[in-house]
């Protein structure tokens, strides 16, 4: 086979791989981890001349890196949790979402395992109900005391003095500490700030967006409005809204660093200035 034919095959493989990469990244445009790691696997495929085994090995190495980061988040984040704390969490950032240890749930599970008496209020997280379905299940498996609440109940419970801390994850963190996370996070942050309740976001370094200079540089995903109008029941989807009404379904929102007490990372619990310094080192 001549060099022209070889180059044609290589370029064809590369184009097909780029097409698959675009499809994967388009499934979750707001979350930067998927973009970062899928691109690294894509690079590994190019560098190994499209070897499946070597690319898979590179993907496993990346997975192990995330695993170790989540272990450290679990280990270092436990320091902010005191015996007797009641913690509010939102959406799901547990072992199922972020490999074995979890991010936001990691320190909570660790505190429980250390014998600390903790209770967790689990925001249901409308409209997909990740909190009610997944976080609730994970806490049950760990034997951790918890109650699922409607999203709109969080501020009331704060006003009653029944929440000591908020710990949740992030889908993206900008270089100034601004986070984008599941819709409803911003509302929780505002309420926590008003009631002077510490608000923490836990995430691995792959969640840092090193490219975007501001919130205008990335896309907040809007999803199918039927997620708002319907819920899944045992016999299919059940309409829970007026059939003739339109709906709007932003999947994520944005929380500025002024509302964030600290960032739980593999390098410790950092304030905004410390986070920025660590990002600049990288």
φ and ψ at 225, to 5 degrees? -65, -20
- Give the torsion through C-alpha atoms of 44, 46, 48, 52, to 10 deg: 80
The answer to whether 95 and 62 are in contact (CB under 8 A) is no
Q: Which residue has the tokens 């309740």?
A: 197
The answer to whether 30 and 220 are in contact (CB under 8 A) is yes
The answer to whether 114 and 177 are in contact (CB under 8 A) is no
CA 267/CA 270 separation, integer angstroms: 8
**Strands 268-270, 262-265: parallel, antiparallel or unpaired by DSSP?**
antiparallel
The answer to whether 251 and 182 are in contact (CB under 8 A) is yes
For the purposes of burial, counting CB atoms within 10 Å of the CB of 234, is it exposed (0-12), middle (13-18) or buried (19 or more)?
exposed
Q: Which of 33, 123, 151, 171 is catalytic?
A: 171
Task: Answer yes or no: 171 catalytic.
Answer: yes
CA 42/CA 102 separation, integer angstroms: 25
Q: Of 82, 10, 68, 126, which Cα lies nearest the Cα of 266?
A: 68
Long-range (24+ apart) CB contacts under 8 A made by 211-217 are: 212/172, 212/174, 212/175, 213/175, 214/174, 215/174, 215/178, 215/180, 215/254
Catalytic residue list: 171
């Amino acid at each position: 086979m001549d060099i022209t034919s070889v180059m044609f095959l290589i370029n064809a493989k590369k184009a097909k791989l780029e097409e698959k990469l675009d499809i994967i990244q388009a499934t979750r445009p707001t979350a930067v981890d998927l973009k970062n790691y899928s691109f690294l696997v894509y690079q590994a495929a190019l560098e190994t001349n499209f070897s499946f085994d070597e690319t898979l090995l590179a993907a496993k190495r990346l997975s192990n890196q995330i695993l170790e980061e989540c272990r450290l988040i679990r280990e270092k984040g436990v320091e902010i949790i005191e015996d007797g704390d009641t913690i509010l969490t939102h959406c799901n950032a547990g072992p199922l979402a972020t490999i074995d240890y979890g991010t936001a749930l990691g320190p909570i599970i660790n505190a429980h395992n250390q014998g600390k008496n903790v209770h967790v209020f689990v925001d249901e997280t409308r409209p997909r109900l990740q909190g009610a379905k997944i976080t609730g299940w994970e806490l049950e498996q760990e034997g951790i005391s918890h109650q699922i609440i409607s999203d709109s109940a969080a501020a009331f419970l704060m006003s009653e003095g029944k929440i000591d801390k908020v710990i949740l994850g992030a889908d993206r963190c900008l270089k100034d500490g601004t986070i984008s996370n599941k819709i409803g996070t911003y509302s929780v942050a505002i309420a926590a700030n008003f009631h002077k309740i510490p608000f923490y976001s836990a995430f691995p370094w792959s969640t840092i967006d090193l490219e975007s200079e501001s919130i205008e540089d990335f896309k907040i995903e809007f999803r199918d409005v039927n997620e708002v109008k319907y819920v899944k029941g045992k016999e299919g989807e059940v309409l829970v809204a007026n059939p003739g009404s339109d709906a709007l379904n932003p999947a994520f929102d944005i929380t500025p660093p002024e509302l964030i007490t600290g960032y739980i990372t593999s390098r410790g619990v950092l304030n905004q200035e410390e986070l920025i310094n660590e990002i600049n080192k990288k």
